[in-house]
Structure 1
Amino acid sequence: MVHRKTFAAAVASVCTATALYAVGVSSAHAKTFKWASATDVPTWDVHSQNNAFGNGVHAYVYESLFYYDSKFQVQPVLATGSQQINPTQLRITLRKGVKFHDGADFTADDVVFSLNRAMEKTSNYGVYTQGIDRVVKVDDHTVDIYTKGPNPVLLRQLTELRMMDKQWAEKHKSTTPMDIKSREENHAHRHANGTGPFILKSWEQDVRAVLTRNPNWWGKMDSNVTEILYTPIKAEATRVAALLSGEVDLLLDPSPADLPRLRNSPDLKVIDGVEYRTIFLGLDQFRDELPNSNVKGKNPLKDVKVRKALYQAIDINAIQKNTMRGLSQPTGTLVAPMVNGWTKKVHARHPYDVAGAKKLLADAGYPSGFEVDFACPNNRYVNDEEICQAITAMWARIGVKAKLRTLPTSTYFPMIQRYEASIYMLGWGVPTFDALYSLQSLLRSVGAQGDGNYNVGRYSNPRMDALVERIKKEADLTTRNQLIEQALQLSHDDVAYLPLHDPVIPWAMKKNIQLVHRADNRIDIRYVKVN
């Protein structure tokens, strides 16, 4: 991961890089890698739903111009390098001889198409295209990206923008991303045609995905895996039983309660690390009246006193100890410590204070509390449903009657993006390892090119918007980090969200599995070996 002080240098070092992507020597022995977690890929349309788990699995099949190595340094992939022609023009040279899984050549036309597709209104990837003005083909293997101003994190944004075959998309009427707010599917939702090391052989949503090694892949990787079998298993006990019985090789998300048994098994091992994700609660600060609430004619969540009361009623240390069993680091901000822009100052939480929370509610005009809708996923984050159940009980102590409803990932995220939740849980990782990604997605007023794309509580503050706009274009690292701290502090003061914790993520696996644990909670297939 990149330290804040070396962030700019790390980005700049890539501009002339030409190193091969994940070069290594593969074993001659074919191996099947079977793994499981609670959730599934929401779609195979790589510009539709910006879901961290899905993005990680998409990388097996679809590739981007740049991607991270095992130490989160940006490396060329479908690009061979880049050159900053001037502050608003980046020239990218493309790898020659690359083919899509259907045999079509990868060219500059596909890059222009893919980046423009990611900027469509139905795309959920505008946060990665922010600042891009236009993309121009120079020749078959060169493109220029013109930006609206200096963009210090453009290469990091490009790591999540995967390349599609323009002709394939046109043939299958998938030139625009599937709209996740609707229930209409396109061909790209269930089918894939990338350039990556694995081919999607079959996918039955919420049941199983089968991927096979691409024999015509241009690269090399330090892995002997030739087939991937991924199985989403919602029930915790069933997931653990599958690992213990040998049905799967790895669990991405073992429950904290099962970890002692898994750690003590002679056939298994568990490796841990802090995730780059922050878990928090969002609140509807837009509607004039909340649905399914006993408060009529106004929205209590618009009042900062109410938001702060809900915050201070949460005993985060109890959640860390009892619900997460130590597998979390309580936080007061929206980014994890390894993200550029994090500081100890913004990390400080509002104190847990039940009496103070009751007084805040009374001062806001709700001495007896109120009823409110509370939505949570039940198969996305570690102990997500249990965390929400604990918070519901904590809020009851101050008179707030949260009507908890839990949903599976496949229906939960489209629901909250339709603005159908009053209070909701969200976990936000930072693929760029820069706080702008969170500030723009979560705190910027809803707008174009990724602004507020997951600000589903529709928080809006003109001062915050101005700070985010400055951060987008500020080239001086010291000034830029000062602006980031101001924005995160403003979020804290406004109680724009209720931060909870940064998870500590354990992976449980058979002892014959070798891989690299990643802060982004992705199983990077390039480094997986089955011995």
Structure 2
Amino acid sequence: MRMTRTNGRTMSASLKGAALAVIFSTSAAAAAENAIRIALSSPPTTLDPHFHNLTPNSALSMHVFEPLFRIDEKSGRAAPGLAKSWEAPDERTWIVNLAEGVTFSNGKPFTANDVIYSICRIPTIKDSPGSFMGQIQAVENIEALSPHQIRITTKGPYPILPVDLADVMIVSAETAGAGAVTFGLKGCNGFVEGPTDKYNSTDLAVGTGPFKYTSFVPGEKIDLVANDKYREGKAVWDKVTLRIIPNDVARVAALLSHEVDLIERPPLQDLSRIKANDKLAVTGTVSERIIYLAFDVEQEPTPGIKGTDGKNPFKDKRVREAVTHAISRDVIVEKVMRDQAQSAGQLLSPGSFGYFETGFAPDSYDPEKAKALLSEAGYPNGFELVIGATNNRYVNDARIAETLAQMLTRVGIKTSVDASNFSIFSEKRNKYQFSSYLGGWGNGSREGIYTFRSLVATRNTKEGMGSSNRGRFSNAKVDNLLREAQRTNEEGKRLELFRKIAEIVKEEKAILPLHYEMATWAHSADIAVQPSADQRTVASRFSPKP
């Protein structure tokens, strides 16, 4: 272990003892006041629940805000949230009965007007890196039938509306200064803008959930306390501190020294050491997150490619197929992920509606076939490629990218990696500065439409289609099948449509599934953890052991 030094000298035993005393007294104080200190690996970028549809942001929002509907962990189906019940009298109409007697943390009452205001707000968000428009694209009208009942009309049959709206958090219209709001596709009457910076300052970040914000230091720390007006009673914790510690070594060190009580995404190489500590524990489950390799299939020339005379090789399906056969998913799972992952042959994870047990085995590792396909496509000597990647957003993400680079180099595609933190990576990806990149997608809804609509639908911001399709793959058959699936109530028929979409995606090699991550947390043995496949770190899912 590296020695700790102060002013060039080794820290004295007495000083180290004092430091440890502070650490343990801090831990004891946290326990005494019923507080939990959590270390996050990826920073939430905002307190605004409508600004950026990103897993760290969604997990953070769940502490403070609530949606109309929740996704049941076991069934994957919509369950009551702020909506206590609902019915669909016809294929385009939903009558939603809202929970009564609910207040926001600042004492403002929750009513139908807050639901209308929240949905009206989504199209007004400026410069969103990942919009929630896809979640409301089917909505044609929303009316308040009473203070606690609404009628939602969709543009056509849309059976998964409750699943879509499970991602839309409800904010307070009155806190934003709005009076009565009426919905309109071209703009809502009575709507008052609630700027994102007012949410980030906590002024407007007021919800009905179990906690409320007290401070937000971007990239460093978020403090919350229990919401004493929470409708389900006292929150499990009086105080929650979320620290942002992207560095794996530092995050584990914080856990081992009792500076924090729980960490997300413990590095794989440290799991055995953590498990051997009788004061700590590790809890996990297979996640809904797919790790994939995407290609730019539109730009020509495309960034990060050399040796092709300006051509974009990824516009040729044979090159994309060569790449998939150059990859050994088994090596990635066994060596890089230390068996803490599962090889993937399709975008949807096990347990999702639209995951198929047969017909979608992971593509085979066949480097000789990869070389032959490259030669057939006109690249017998390969070309040079830079893969974009994050370096702490996903488990071992940079190492995975480096392993992919080695595998591709062996078949003639001389590959290097541009790995950066998530904010820099996102900026480059959103500006289409990668010819290929390693990405991840978590389908918390477990509904196939959500994944297909975001990752492989033709990009259309007005419809909320292709919101995360940064390779700009476009296939008219996929789009038509997806639109039909969104209109189809009968689940058997929807599954048939999903299979057809999945078959096209697999055939076209539009995006290459690599593996499903494990959702893992390391924590004090005194804390009970309810693991969730959505990988969201939410304080209410953890509780002190009796």
* TM above 0.5: yes
Partner of 1:380: 393
Per-residue CA distance 1:163-217 (angstroms, 9 max, x = gap): 112243458xx96687xxxxxx632244322221111111111111111101122
Residues 169-188 of structure 1 mapped to structure 2, 5 A cutoff: 169=176, 186-188=197-199
Find the counterpart in structure 1 of residue 488 from structure 2.
Answer: 474
Residue 452 of structure 1 corresponds to which residue in structure 2? 466
> 2:230 aligned with 1:217, yes or no?
yes
Structure 2 counterpart of 1:188, one-letter code:
Y
Task: Tell me the SS of whatever aligns to 1:186.
Answer: helix
Q: Is the 8 A contact 1:48 1:177 kept in 2?
A: no
1:87-98 matched pairs, under 5 angstroms: 87-98=91-102
Shift of 1:240: 0.9
Q: Determine the C-alpha separation between the residues in 2 that align with 1:353 and 1:167.
A: 61
Change (3 A) 1:145 1:119: farther
- Distance (whole Å) between structure 2 residues aligned to residue 237 and residue 501 of structure 1: 24
* Residue correspondence of structure 1 range 297-308 to structure 2 within 5 A: 297-308=310-321
**Distance in 1 between residues matched to 2:200 and 2:424, nearest whole Å:** 15
Letter in 1 for 2:530: V
Which letter maps to 2:80?
P
> Which AA in structure 2 matches 1:368?
N
Q: CA deviation at 1:119?
A: 4.0
Q: In 1, are the aligned partners of 2:106 and 2:206 still within 8 Å (CA)?
A: yes
Q: Deviations over 1:58-107 (max 9, x none)?
A: 11111111113553553322222112121101011222232223332222
Deviations 1:132-155 (A, max 9, x none): 222222222221111122222211
Aligned to 2:519: 505
Q: Which residue of 1 aligns with 2:285?
A: 273
Per the alignment, in what secondary structure is the counterpart of residue 155 of structure 1? Answer: helix
1:198-217 alignment, distance < 5 Å: 198-217=211-230
Q: 1:177 to 1:392 in 2, by over 3 A?
A: farther
Match of 1:495 in 2: 509
Does structure 1 retain, via aligned residues, the 8 Å contact 2:531–2:541? no
Alignment partner of 1:262 is 2:274: yes
Asked if 1 retains the 8 angstrom alpha-carbon contact of 2:295 and 2:437, the reply is yes
User: Matched residues in 2 for 1:490 and 1:176: separation?
Assistant: 42
CA RMSD of aligned residues (A): 2.0
Q: Read off the aligned partner of 1:33 and give its amino acid letter.
A: I
Corresponding residue of 1:31: 34
**Cα distance in 2 for residues equivalent to 1:120 and 1:346:** 42
Mapped partners of 1:176, 1:331: distance in 2:
43
1:149 match: 156
Q: In the TM superposition, what are the counterparts of 1:343-354 in structure 2 within 5 Å? A: 343-354=356-367
Give the aligned partner of residue 286 of structure 1.
298
Asked if 2 retains the 8 angstrom alpha-carbon contact of 1:119 and 1:449, the reply is no
1:282-332 deviation digits (Å, cap 9, x = unpaired): 111111211242234321111101111111111111111111000010011
Pairing 1:135–2:142 present: yes
Structure 2 stretches lacking a partner, 5+ long: 1-30, 179-190
Separation of aligned partners in 1, 2:32 and 2:263 = 23
Q: How does 1:29-178 map to 2 (within 5 A)?
A: 30-71=33-74, 72=76, 74-120=78-124, 122=126, 124-169=131-176
Q: Is the contact made by 2:382 and 2:414 (CA closer than 8 Å) also made in structure 1?
A: yes
Check 1:309–1:259 CA distance in 2 against 1; reply closer, same or farther (3 A cut): same
Higher deviation after alignment, 493-502 or 226-235? 226-235
The answer to whether the Cα contact below 8 Å between 1:202 and 1:210 also exists between their aligned partners in 2 is yes
Q: Is residue 243 from structure 1 mapped to residue 255 from structure 2 by the alignment?
A: yes
Per the alignment, do residues 346 and 176 of structure 1 end up closer, same or farther by CA in structure 2, a change over 3 Å counting? farther
Are the counterparts in 2 of residues 70 and 516 from structure 1 also a CA contact under 8 Å?
no
From the superposition, tell whether residues 159 and 255 of structure 1 become closer, same or farther in structure 2 (CA, over 3 Å). Answer: same
**Pair 299,466 (structure 1): closer, same or farther in 2 beyond 3 Å:** same
Q: What do the CA deviations read for 1:345-384 (whole angstroms, capped 9, x no partner)?
A: 3431221111111111111111111122311111211111
Aligned equivalent of 2:25: none
3-state DSSP of counterpart to 2:135: helix
Aligned residues of 1:417 and 1:456 also touching (Cα < 8 A): yes
Q: Report the 3-state secondary structure (helix = DSSP H, G, I; strand = E; otherwise coil) of the residue aligned with 2:305.
A: coil
Cα contact 2:266–2:522 (8 A) shared by 1:
yes
Verify: 1:313 aligned to 2:326, yes or no. yes
| 2:519 and 2:531 in contact (8 A); partners too | no
Query: Residue 234 of structure 1 is aligned with which of 246, 250, 254?
Result: 246
Shift of 1:414: 3.7
Distance 1:176 1:279, change over 3 A: farther
Give TM-score scaled by structure 2 length: 0.87
Q: Distance between the aligned counterparts of 1:53 and 1:324, measured in 2?
A: 22
Measured against aligned partners, the alpha-carbon deviations of 1:390-429 in whole angstroms (never above 9, x if no partner) come to 1111111122123311121233224322322221122111
Distance 1:346 1:113, change over 3 A: farther
Deviations 1:475-521 (A, max 9, x none): 11111101101101110000000110011222111110012111111
Unaligned stretches of 5+ in structure 1?
1-27, 179-184
- Check conservation: 1:47, 1:177, Cα contact below 8 A: no
Q: Is the 2:176–2:194 Cα contact (8 Å) retained in structure 1? A: no
Counterpart amino acid of residue 200 in structure 1: Y
Q: Using the alignment, how far apart are the partners of 2:457 and 2:86 within structure 1?
A: 30
Report the counterpart of residue 253 of structure 1 in structure 2.
265
Letter in 2 for 1:510: S
Task: Give the aligned length.
Answer: 495
1:496 to 1:145, Cα distance in 2 relative to 1, 3 A: same
1:322 aligns with 2:335: yes
In the TM superposition, structure 1's runs of 4+ consecutive aligned residues that sit over 6 Å from their partners are none
Q: Is the 8 A contact 2:289 2:442 kept in 1?
A: yes
How far, CA to CA, are the matches of 2:221 and 2:230 in structure 1?
A: 24
1:331 is matched with: 344
Aligned to 2:17: none
Counterparts of 1:526 and 1:409, CA distance in 2: 26
Q: Percent identity?
A: 30
What CA distance in whole angstroms lies between the structure 1 residues aligned with 2:537 and 2:355?
A: 25
| CA 1:459–1:163: 2 relative to 1, 3 Å | same
Q: Provide TM-score, normalisation by structure 1.
A: 0.89
Which AA in structure 1 matches 2:365? Answer: Y
Alignment match, 2:529: 515
